[in-house]
Amino acid sequence: MIVRCGRCRTEVEVPGPGRYPCPACGALMEVRPRGADPGLVAPPPPPPAPAPSPRVECPECGLRFIVGAVESAPCPNCGASVPVPDEGTW
Ligand SMILES: [Zn+2]
Ligand SMILES: [Zn+2]
């Protein structure tokens, strides 16, 4: 691979990543491997979003409340048994 000296702009053939002194001016050239530029590192992926909690509406009093993964839940307001729809319908 060919790198260019940062001081005198001489192009130098080097076998690969590493540190090499410029044959023209003696300046140390640092050759980084491809893709290792710290300015091009992708940011870490965001943490996965928490699963939304099922929310049901009581048919008796209209209260909306969050339930767990159950088939039916008692309404905390009036005590009526409220069916929980399948995932994806709410
Ligand atoms: Zn040089
Ligand atoms: Zn209710």
- Of the ligands numbered here, which is closest to the C-alpha atom of 22? 1
How high is the pLDDT of residue 49? 77
How high is the pLDDT of residue 40? 61
Residue 44 Cα, ligand 1 centroid: separation in angstroms? 37
How high is the pLDDT of residue 37? 58
The closest alpha carbon to 84, from 64, 16, 45, belongs to: 64
Residue 28 Cα, ligand 1 centroid: separation in angstroms? 8
How high is the pLDDT of residue 38? 60
On whether the CB atoms of residues 42 and 35 are closer than 8 A, the answer is: no
DSSP 82: E
Whole-number Å distance between alpha carbons of 20 and 12: 9
Q: Can you give the pLDDT of all 90 residues of the chain as single tens digits? A: 899 999 999 999 999 899 999 999 999 998 888 765 566 667 788 888 776 777 899 999 999 998 887 888 899 999 999 988 776 555
- Of the ligands numbered here, which is closest to the C-alpha atom of 65? 2
Residue 88 Cα, ligand 2 centroid: separation in angstroms? 22
How high is the pLDDT of residue 7? 93
The model's pTM? 0.38
Q: Which residues contact 42 (CB under 8 A, 6 or more apart)?
A: none
Whole-number Å distance between alpha carbons of 90 and 64: 12
Residue type, position 24, single letter? A
The closest alpha carbon to 80, from 88, 65, 52, belongs to: 65
Q: Where are the chain's structural domains?
A: 2-34, 52-90
